[in-house]
Structure 1
Amino acid sequence: MTEKSFTWRAGGLLLPGLLFLAALFAWPVARLVATSFSDPAGAFVHYERIFLDPVYIRVVGRTMALSAEVAVLCLLLGYPLAYQLNRSGPLGKAIILLCVLIPFWTNLLVRSYGWIVLLNPQGIINGLLREAGLIEGAVPLVYNTTGVLIGMTQIMLPYMVLPLAAVMSRIDPTLPSAARSLGASPLAAFTRVYLPLTMPGILAGLLLVFMLSLGFFVVPALLGGPRDILLAQLIDFNINSTLNWPFAAALSTVLLGATLALYWIGDRFFDLGRLWGTR
């Protein structure tokens, strides 16, 4: 087979998928962006409103801050889990993977209502704390930022564990032992040998969790309070309640631009391509 014929065959295989993406993703996104500039009062009037009005600046800032907090919590919880996943035997790996993947098998709405049952003032967690004598009344764990953090962290945790586990599986397990044999303490062997090697997985997990968290709607809507409105909820409000589609399109474009910028920064400066073995 000549190189030219191979190129044509490869192009033929890619064409259906590219047409599908163009029709169902690229074209709608392009229309969305165009709609955000279609207001008769001016092409940039909605963007000026977003970045100059303190109310919308707070919503954008709250969305960014909450997404960053979820990413950090997922890292703190997911790193030991991914580490143990790679160190365990076949049975241990199967059990850990089952626990990690179970959230993918449960509907997002069901999980959110499950957290309401667990976290409400008369729920199981507050009941156990009262029985243990740790509290007298009730700890506010739901319908606030705490509830949103708990719900989103539980849902996003697999997106942190899986990239970390993928990177850790490619690390030579004898390297920390070699560092120990050269006189390094267990902590030094971990922080100076093992941890730097897992950095692509850490960065990829943080980036992935952060980007996905930016567009969360169901969990903040159910577990959050009236002061915890995020960008996705604001978009929904402008589409379904005020019918202000151009402003909703501008908010969506800001969200899209932030996601693309984050991905470019991660790939450009943190070499995330190593995670997939492309570099």
Structure 2
Amino acid sequence: MRRPSSFLLAGRRYSPAASLLLAAPFLLLIVVVFLLPLATLLHESLFLPSPGLQHYERALAEPVYLRVMLRTLRIAAQVTALALVLAWPLAWVMSRSKGLGLALLAAAVLLPLWTSVLVRTYAWMVLLQRNGVVNQWLQKLGLTDEPLKLLYTEPAVVLAMAHVLLPFMVLPIYSALKGIPEDYTRAAQMLGASAWASFREVIWPLALPGVTSGCLMVFLLALGFFVTPALIGGPQQMMIATLVSQQVREMLDWSFAGALVGILLAFVLLLTVIFRRAVRLDRFVGQG
């Protein structure tokens, strides 16, 4: 019987043509489901009803659409910051846990990914509504005399989105922290470094790739989030994904919706390029 290592070696002998053939179903799905509709939408934004950039000029010139874009960026940044604050302690505890404790923490992080976003969003609606659990407890504790308006506010949108996207922040940070040997911290403390100094000079720089990856992932996902802002937020919390849906379903203005998608896509690509350059620069500085 062949040993497992021989199977691994055999798996590395696939030719480029065979590898491409194995990946063909996935690539075909990406082309049909994502690239082709996106290209069609962008084409309509540039050539219908006449060739030009009039739809892009409208999106960037009219204050109402500009406010929606800026609000989207602001909410995405707030969600990213809140997710980072919540994810770091959890990832740190996970990186220092073993056995059953690690399994329970990992299950707590991964199980929400197997639950529908719609279900988790409705759970927040139950918690934050006028007669919901949060308002009931606030009144029982005597902190408020009447129910507060928690639902359909920007803080509610930020909190719910941060909860939904939290696993995408925890996992990269946990992976980075798990790769840091505990001896590094002990060595820093033996050399006279305080706990804060060892964190600032040792732990944080080594965990920075995981932090930046998690922040980028959460920020990009938050930019295009639709379900949670549409249900938790009101008209004053409309984000760009909701605006695109409104233009397509209610206004039937596919060309303008394509322009909004094109602007969002350009910003995402620019942010990705900046992130890749920053990561390369960080590696270069680390090697120097």
Kept in 1, the 8 Å contact 2:41–2:254? The answer is: no
> Which residue in 2 is equivalent to 1:134?
143
Q: Deviations over 1:23-42 (max 9, x none)?
A: 33322222221111122354
One-letter amino acid matched to 1:233: T
**TM-score normalised per structure 2:** 0.89
| 1:265 CA drift (Å) | 1.2
Conserved 8 A contact 1:126-1:138: yes
Matched, 1:122 2:127: no
Structure 1 runs of 4+ with >3 Å offset: 4-20, 271-274
Q: Secondary structure at the residue paired with 2:49?
A: coil
Q: Which residue is 2:5 aligned to? A: none
Structure 1's unaligned 5+ residue stretches are: 275-279
Deviation at 1:227? Answer: 0.7
* 1:273 to partner: Cα distance: 10
Of 263, 266, 278, the residue aligned with 1:269 is: 278
Q: Which amino acid aligns with 1:248?
A: A
1:197 aligns with one of 168, 188, 206: 206
- CA drift of 1:258 comes to 1.6
CA distance in 2, matches of 1:109, 1:7: 41
User: Is 2:90–2:170's contact at 8 Å kept on the other side of the alignment?
Assistant: yes
Match of 2:225 among 208, 216, 220: 216
Report how many residues are paired. Answer: 273
Corresponding residue of 2:3:
none
Alignment gaps of 5+ in structure 2: 1-9, 284-288
Partner of 1:260: 269
Distance 1:18 1:122, change over 3 A: closer
Cα RMSD over matched residues? 2.2
CA deviation vs aligned residue, 1:248-268 (integer Å, no higher than 9, x gap): 111111122222221111112
Residue by residue over 1:198-253, the C-alpha shift from the partner in whole angstroms, topping out at 9 and shown as x without a partner, is 00111111100000001111111111012111101110111000100000111111
Structure 2 equivalent of residue 277 of structure 1: none
TM-score under structure 1 length normalisation: 0.91
Q: Which amino acid aligns with 1:21?
A: I
Deviations 1:164-184 (A, max 9, x none): 111111111210111000000
Amino acid at match of 1:22: V
The residue type paired with residue 75 of structure 1 is L
Matched, 1:88 2:97: yes
User: Which of the numbers 214, 225, 239 marks the counterpart of 2:234?
Assistant: 225
CA separation of 1:235 and 1:182: change in aligned 2, threshold 3 A: same
54-63 or 251-260: bigger deviation: 251-260
Pairing partner for 1:206 from 205, 215, 219: 215
